[in-house]
Amino acid sequence: MTQLSVNINKIATLRNARGGNNPDVIKTALDCERFGAQGITVHPRPDERHIRYSDVVQLKDILTTEFNIEGYPDERYMKIISEAKPAQATLVPDAPDAITSNAGWDTVKHESFLKEVVSELKRYGTRVSIFVNPSEKMVEGAAAVGADRIELYTEPYAHQFNTNRFDAVRPYIASAQVAAGLGVGVNAGHDLDLHNLRFLKGSIPNLDEVSIGHALVCDALYFGLENTLQLYLRQLRD
C-alpha cells in the first residue's frame, strides 16, 4: 500500500494566525498517526509562518511514524536535518518567500550542488527525496546525484485531471517507470485530493508515498480529522 504522509503546515498556519497553541500542532500530528497516517511532513520556512523550528524539535522525539522534512537545502535547513535526523529529507527548489512549492528541480543544471547536498544528508542516515517535474530527464538527473527517491510534482496532473485524466497521468507513469528502472523510489505530492488520488495510485504501481496537506485539512473541516484520514487511506488501498 502507498504510504500517506500528512503535511501539517496548514495546522500550524491556523495556530499562528491567532497566537497561542490552538490548534495544537504536536497533538494534531500524534492524532494523525493514531488515525492511521504512516508519516508526518513539515516544511519549516525561514520566516516560520507555519511550522516553527521549535515544532521540529518537539516532533523529532515523539513521532512513531516516518518524519519527512521538506525544504530548500540552505544552511538553516541543513542544520535542522543534522539535528532532527528525520527518516526522509525532501529537497525543494523554493525561494524563501514562495507561498508553496510550484516547480521541481532542474537536476541536470544543479547536478553539482545537489550531489554535494545529498551526500551530506546521507551522512545523517536520512533518506533523500528530490522534488521534480514529471520528466524522464529530471528523474535520471535525480538518480545521478544519488537521490533515494523522487517526489513527483503533481499540480499539473491535478489541474488537468477533470479534463483528461489519461493525458494528465501519462508523463507521471513514464517518469515512475524510469525511476523503477534506476532503482529510485517514487513519492508524489501537490494538489492531490479525494477526487484525483485513487486514479494516480492505480496508474503508478510503484508509488511509495504521497504527501498531502492542504486538501486534507480542508476536508477535515467538513468530515472531521479522523474520518478524513480514513477516506484518504481508502483511496490508497490496492
**Which residues are known to be catalytic?**
43, 70, 190
Helices (H) and strands (E) in the chain, counts: 11, 8
- Bond into 73 cis (ω within 30): no
Which stretches within the chain are classed as H helix? 9-18, 25-34, 53-62, 75-84, 111-122, 136-144, 155-161, 165-182, 197-203, 214-223, 225-236
Q: What sign does the dihedral 72-74-80-82 (CA atoms) show?
A: positive
Q: With contact defined as beta carbons under 8 Å apart, do 125 and 85 qualify?
A: yes
Tally of CB atoms within 10 A around 236? 19
Q: Which three cell numbers stand for residue 17?
A: 494566525
Angle, in degrees to the nearest 10, between helices 225-236 and 25-34? 50
CB contact at 8 A, 67 and 88: yes
d(Cα 122, Cα 147) in Å, to the nearest integer? 9
34, 63, 93, 113, 230 from 90: Cα distances, Å: 24, 18, 10, 15, 25
